[in-house]
Amino acid sequence: MKSSLAIFFVFMPVFLFAGKFEDEVLPVLKRSCLKCHGGEKTKGKVDFSGIVTELEAGNHLDLWETVVEVVELGEMPPEEEKPLSSDERKKIRDWRDEFIKLPAELTITPLRPRRLSANEYRNTMRSLFGFDLEVGIARAEQTESGEKSLVLKILPPDPPGASGFFNDTHSAAISTSLLENYAYLAGASLDRLFSKKGKDSLTRMMGQNGDWDGKINPSLAEKIVRSFLPRILRRPVPEERIKAVLDQLKGKQGKPLVSALKFELKTALISPEFLYRGFLANPEGSIGRKSVDAFELAERISYFLWEDMPDDELFQSARNGDLQDKAEVGRQVARMLSDPRARNLSESFGVQLLGLSSIDDQIKNNPIHLHAMRTQPRDFLHYLFTEDRPVMELLDSNVTFVNQSTSGFYGNDRKRLAPFHKPRGVERQRTMNQRLEIKEAEGRGGILTMPSILSMNHGPILRGTWVLRTILGVRLGEPPADVPPIKPVPRGKKMTFRERFEAHRENVTCARCHEKIDPIGFALDGYDKNGRYLLASYHKRGNQPPIDTSGKLPSGEAFEDFQGLKSILLTKRREQVIRNLTTRLLSYALCRKLGRGDHSVVEEIASKASLGNSTWKELLIEVANSAPFRETVFGPLEEK
């Protein structure tokens, strides 16, 4: 009976709306869209041929955002095809609006355990053992930035999942070779723990005094098991399981005891209960929709904010039952954001959100400058996330972070930096970023004007595309394979790139995307390929050709320069920006692509954040207290 009710409530939206998509929307798609977006023809990687029911349509809600947009703007169907009537456009829009607002509690996504990502595994092992396994190579610390972690050297990098994030490992199962890697790393960590090098960690783990001689007796072995095993499994361990381990240690002393203890702990460290998140999320074995237990919730919060296991205080909150209170979740999130481990939020979510790894592709053979360009946006994001700054300060802030390598982009403001004294004998050295208030530097403020963002997206087309996809969440298809190249400047004639590109846009196939891309991209054309501001007052000399940074968005908003565009993003496009950031944040927190039921949560959180000028901390708390984050469905639906 419980199983039937669970199925009913998960698919209740389909029962409520069954027929509306098939009767009103599907006929429009068949008549006007399948010719180019179905079967063998799938322009822009959009295929409607497999979407014929309400249920199938609900699995592609991100697609309908784009469908509604292009239909409303008259971009689809193409000019040579019969346009949609106002009634047909309304049917598509109304269906999407009604379907997306379904109560989230009716559509909770079933739980699917997933393995720890490489970075989660590395952080978890470090928290468990109190040390990090590092590669033993000689390095020039002042200039090099190579990976030191043995874990990240050995484990293969995680491919992005369906959500686009690396922590979405649902489709990346544990292979035999990967299990061998885990076994090696577990063994190496245990060998060090029970060696002289690991004595301090083992002493802290057992709560021993500093004068402990390092020898393990049966009493201490039991203490290690009772302390370490619950931390490995990230929840209390039944007494019968503890006793089963202790039975394997009975009658052993000295080296045989340590060997048996290491074997039992290694067994736990390569078990699915440790390597997978959510594997023990249903300790009662019940079926149906319900709130996750306190320890699963603690795990979700800690890996969301830290990419790491819960700490003692979060564990204690779960044990006490306090964590089921939303106010306590808010208190824990605020506390955890002040912890150094919160840097993982900017280093992981922030880097993936903004695609910051692309910076590495633009800067070669200059590790000092690469380090500066890498760390500036990351430190800025860390500041926004952990110092309770408004969400929209991502685009407009008078605070930045610079070091000796990036200070030149900020004019006279650089004079307020603390002096840097280079050590003797060091020709070049990486330096830490300093927080800098922007007072005089022209054309700076917010993520869009950071040199690293501009240099990794050099040129108006890349910049416009990046802003549309990353900041506004616009779904752009890939350019057609037969796009003609931009024509060179005719002999004897002077033309700017913008003027040359106007001819390229005359191609109807190209124009549809470039109507969106170009206004934003050319608004940023006042910055060169390295991110320097060409329109600054100290550059207005000589006979430099004028740079036209004006534009008009397809929705009608016009602007004279980038500052005008930024004003539009901060006002008229404010809710769109916040909705996109909320969508990405919730998807990262859930470690999966959003599905049916999640979008109503996004709408609710984004609307509240937009109206209330919410901060990043408030947004993080809203996500942690949302229904998809706190609840799930157990039972026969788990495999779906």
The pLDDT value given to residue 39: 66
- Of the candidates 208, 239, 211, 246, the one whose C-alpha atom is nearest the C-alpha of residue 225 is 246
Beta-bridged to residue 582, according to DSSP, are none
pLDDT digits (tens, 9 = 90+) for 287-328: 778 889 999 999 999 999 999 999 999 999 999 999 999 999
Q: What average pLDDT does the segment 488-494 reach? A: 66
* Residue 538's pLDDT band (cuts 50, 70, 90): very low
More confident residue, 498 or 294: 294
**In angstroms, rounded to a whole number, what is the distance separating the alpha carbons of residues 595 and 586?**
11
Tell me which of 92 and 303 has the higher pLDDT.
303
- In this predicted model, which residue has the larger pLDDT, 497 or 248? 248
Q: Which long-range contacts (CB under 8 A, 24 or more apart) does 235-243 make?
A: 235/280, 235/283, 235/295, 235/296, 235/299, 236/295, 236/319
Q: How do the domains of the chain map onto residue ranges? A: 2-100, 118-157+174-277, 359-570
Q: Is the pLDDT of residue 639 over 80?
A: no
The answer to whether 6 and 291 are in contact (CB under 8 A) is no
Hey, is 249 helix, strand or coil?
A: coil
pLDDT of residue 586: 97
Separation between Cα atoms, residue 452 and residue 530, nearest integer Å: 8
- How would residue 490 be classed by pLDDT, with cut points 50, 70 and 90? low
Q: Which of 129-138, 321-330, 384-393 has the lowest mean pLDDT?
A: 129-138
> What's the mean pLDDT when you consider all of the chain?
85
Q: Is residue 42 predicted with pLDDT exceeding 80?
A: no
On the question of a cis peptide bond just before residue 367, with omega within 30 degrees of 0, the verdict is no
Higher per-residue confidence, 93 vs 333: 333
- Provide the token pair at 45: 């990687």
Q: How many residues does the chain have?
A: 640
Whether residue 635 is predicted with pLDDT greater than 90 in this model: the reply is no
Mean pLDDT of 198-209: 84
In percent, the amount of the chain with pLDDT more than 90 equals: 56
Asked if residue 70 has pLDDT above 90, the reply is no
Task: Give the Cα separation of 99 and 63 in Å (integer).
Answer: 13
Find the distance separating the first CA and the last CA of the chain, reported in whole Å: 19
Its pTM stands at 0.86
- pLDDT of 500 > 50? The answer is yes
Q: Which two tokens stand for residue 489?
A: 């400047």
pLDDT at 506 over 70: no
Tokens describing residue 214:
């390092």
As a whole number of angstroms, the longest Cα–Cα distance in the chain is 94
CB neighbourhood size of 362 (10 A): 15
Q: Which residue has the tokens 């690469």?
A: 370
State how far the Cα of 221 lies from the Cα of 604, in Å rounded to an integer: 51
Beta carbons of 394 and 447 less than 8 angstroms apart = yes
**What span, in angstroms and rounded, lies between the C-alpha atoms of 353 and 394?**
12
Instruction: Name the β-bridge partners of 276.
Output: 115
**When comparing pLDDT for 267 and 283, which is higher?**
267
**What is the pLDDT, as a whole number, of residue 510?**
64
Lowest mean pLDDT among 66-70, 140-144, 353-357, 536-540: 140-144
- Which tokens is 261 given? 């203890």
Pick the more confident residue, 463 or 279: 463
CA atoms within 13 A on the CB side of 173: 2
Separation CA 70–CA 555 (nearest Å):
11
pLDDT band at 138; cut points 50, 70, 90: very low
pLDDT, tens digit, 9 for 90 and up, residues 334-365: 999 999 999 999 999 999 999 999 888 888 77
Confidence (pLDDT) at 73? 62
Task: Reduce the DSSP state of residue 634 to 3 states and report it.
Answer: strand
